[in-house]
Amino acid sequence: MLNLTGKTVAILGAGRSGQAAAALALHCGASVTVYDAGEASSVPAGCDWVSNATAEVGQSVIADIVVTSPGIETGGGFVQAFAEGSGALWGEIELAWRCYPGRTIAITGTNGKTTTTELVRELVKATDRSCVACGNYGVPLAEVVLSGESPDVIALELSSFQLETIDAFKPDTVIWLNFSADHMDRYATLEEYRAAKLRIFRNCDETTPLVIRAGENLGELKGLQVTFSSEVEADWSLRGDLIYKGKSPFVALSDTRLRGSHNAEDLMAACAVVDGLTPELAVSALKDYRPPAHRCELVGILDGVEYLNDSKATNLHALESALKSQVRPTVLLVGGKEKGLDYQPLAALLSEKVIQLVSFGEIGPALSQAFSGLLPCQSVSTLREAVAAAQKTAPRGSTILLSPGTSSFDQFRGYEERGEAFRSLVLALN
């Protein structure tokens, strides 16, 4: 366990991650103060706390370590004011990882992180080792450390926001799933976002296993690379329904509840990082596994029309993956918050797969205007109106696909709430 006796730690943000970091820093012997820009109504016993904190407050703080929450912009004035007169600037991941003695499998990518993280957990457990999924998924790593039940392995989902503040963090194995434009409301350029993601390789050495999607442009990397792809030949590949390890079939998608090439790639990556995994163990582990909700989830079938909930598609790569996996004529529900993303590269795929586009939310009118010359488009205000419009036009044998391609924060608190709203609307149809 990290020894912080005699050290002062400033925790920025009183959300779940910040509270977990504060409790862990206290456990390690530090003197801890939590700073929140809002009302820090609850902090761990033993911590001091400051509500309505500002950059001006931060300028007066001198701490040995500043631990910031991932939702706060690392390069913004608030965080930098605290960091300027202090020592190290970490995130909760850096603090907690320094206290964790087991094996770390770190997972990042623009899309598929959560499914892959869950699959790693299930497959590791099939080899008789304990594993907890945590980080950007499930529980903060600090909560895992504080639980007192140290697992053999952690499947650690990492967002670009979390990777901005790693320092000594060195995973035992890395999974890089994919990369595409996202979070352009936080990053000034695509390269800035890529640089944050690439920090996952920061401390890897020549012996670190790196499981990477074939064709990714990652530059020079240290490590032992293993590739996977559903589109080209790789160390792990997809041929029809079968996932191959090299030249040998390993597992069939039909033996699982996973569907689509994007889920196949997540499964390949997960299989590739688990030592001692056999095809038999994989099939046993996956037979009852259900992929996370809101990811091309079949909500129901009404009058011969499938309704798929892909609310988790908060960027264009996720939308593209969902469209590629469709085999029926598709009515696409798309839209939400304006994030500065360019939808034009999807034009050819939209023309191929989509028979009607129904856009909604903040970006809705712009999307319908952009593609009205390509296919039938309709712009409405709300998701409720979008579902109603789609039902009126979708022919028997088609699919109504909610795959927004952007975040939900114009009308919802998150993609989960948006997905649940879609589910409720569909189940209420008749």
Q: Are 106 and 183 in contact (CB under 8 A)?
A: no
Q: What is the rounded CA–CA span in Å between residue 243 and residue 46?
A: 52
pLDDT computed for residue 96 by the predictor: 98
Q: Taking the model in full, what pTM does it have?
A: 0.79
Can you tell me the mean pLDDT for 319-327?
A: 86
Fold annotation for 297-427 = Protein-Tyrosine Phosphatase; Chain A (3.90.190)
- pLDDT of 288 over the 90 cut: no
Q: What is the CATH number of domain 100-286?
A: 3.40.1190.10
Q: How far is CA 41 from the centre of its chain?
A: 28
Side chain identity at 92, as an amino acid letter? E
pLDDT computed for residue 339 by the predictor: 84
Comparing 257 with 240, the larger pLDDT belongs to 240
From the CA atom positions of the chain, what is the Rg in Å?
A: 23
pLDDT computed for residue 39 by the predictor: 78
- pLDDT of 143 over the 70 cut: yes
Q: 3-class DSSP state for residue 415?
A: helix
Comparing 415 with 185, the larger pLDDT belongs to 415
- The two three-digit tokens of residue 245, written as one number: 């390890």
pLDDT computed for residue 309 by the predictor: 93
Q: Categorize the per-residue pLDDT at 290 as very low, low, confident or very high, splitting at 50, 70 and 90.
A: confident
Measured distance between the N- and C-terminal CA atoms of the chain, rounded to whole angstroms: 58
pLDDT computed for residue 151 by the predictor: 97
Burial of 287 (0-12, 13-18, 19+ CB in 10 A): exposed
| CA 302 to each of CA 306, 394, 427: distance values in angstroms, whole numbers, following the listed order | 7, 11, 9
Vertex 386: Cα angle to 382 and 388 (nearest 5): 120
Q: Are 181 and 193 in contact (CB under 8 A)?
A: yes
Average pLDDT over the chain reads 94
Measured in residues, the chain has a length of 430
pLDDT computed for residue 40 by the predictor: 62
- pLDDT of 306 over the 80 cut: yes
Q: Categorize the per-residue pLDDT at 184 as very low, low, confident or very high, splitting at 50, 70 and 90.
A: low
Q: What is the rounded CA–CA span in Å between residue 246 and residue 249?
A: 8
Nearest CA among 363, 275, 376 for reference residue 316: 363
Q: How far is CA 105 from the centre of its chain?
A: 15
Q: What percent of the chain has pLDDT over 90?
A: 82
Taking phi over 0 as left and psi of -120 to 50 as alpha, with beta for the rest, 428 belongs to alpha
Taking phi over 0 as left and psi of -120 to 50 as alpha, with beta for the rest, 324 belongs to alpha
Can you tell me the mean pLDDT for 261-276?
A: 94
Q: What is the rounded CA–CA span in Å between residue 53 and residue 57?
A: 6
H-helix or E-strand spanning residue 252 = strand 248-252
pLDDT computed for residue 331 by the predictor: 98
pLDDT computed for residue 327 by the predictor: 78
Q: Count of CB atoms within 10 A of residue 392's CB?
A: 11
Comparing 182 with 307, the larger pLDDT belongs to 307
Domain range summary for the chain, segments of one domain joined by +? 8-95, 100-286, 297-427
Q: Categorize the per-residue pLDDT at 50 as very low, low, confident or very high, splitting at 50, 70 and 90.
A: very high
Strand duo 209-213 + 173-176: pairing: parallel
Strand duo 65-68 + 88-91: pairing: parallel
Q: What is the pLDDT of residues 397-407, one digit of tens each?
A: 999 999 999 99
pLDDT computed for residue 91 by the predictor: 97
H-helix or E-strand spanning residue 364 = helix 364-371
- The two three-digit tokens of residue 88, written as one number: 């190290």
Nearest CA among 52, 200, 1 for reference residue 113: 200
Q: Categorize the per-residue pLDDT at 340 as very low, low, confident or very high, splitting at 50, 70 and 90.
A: confident
Q: Categorize the per-residue pLDDT at 292 as very low, low, confident or very high, splitting at 50, 70 and 90.
A: confident
H-helix or E-strand spanning residue 239 = strand 236-239
pLDDT computed for residue 41 by the predictor: 66
Can you tell me the mean pLDDT for 400-420?
A: 95
Can you tell me the mean pLDDT for 13-33?
A: 96
Q: What is the rounded CA–CA span in Å between residue 253 and residue 194?
A: 31
Strand duo 297-302 + 305-309: pairing: antiparallel
- pLDDT of 147 over the 80 cut: yes
Q: What is the pLDDT of residues 94-122, one digit of tens each?
A: 999 999 999 999 999 988 899 999 999 99
Q: Categorize the per-residue pLDDT at 324 as very low, low, confident or very high, splitting at 50, 70 and 90.
A: confident
pLDDT computed for residue 181 by the predictor: 65
Q: What is the rounded CA–CA span in Å between residue 238 and residue 191?
A: 30
- pLDDT of 336 over the 90 cut: yes
Q: What is the pLDDT of residues 350-388, one digit of tens each?
A: 999 999 999 999 999 999 999 999 999 999 999 999 999
pLDDT computed for residue 60 by the predictor: 96
- pLDDT of 149 over the 80 cut: yes
Fold annotation for 8-95 = Rossmann fold (3.40.50)
Q: What is the rounded CA–CA span in Å between residue 388 and residue 307?
A: 12
Q: 3-class DSSP state for residue 378?
A: strand
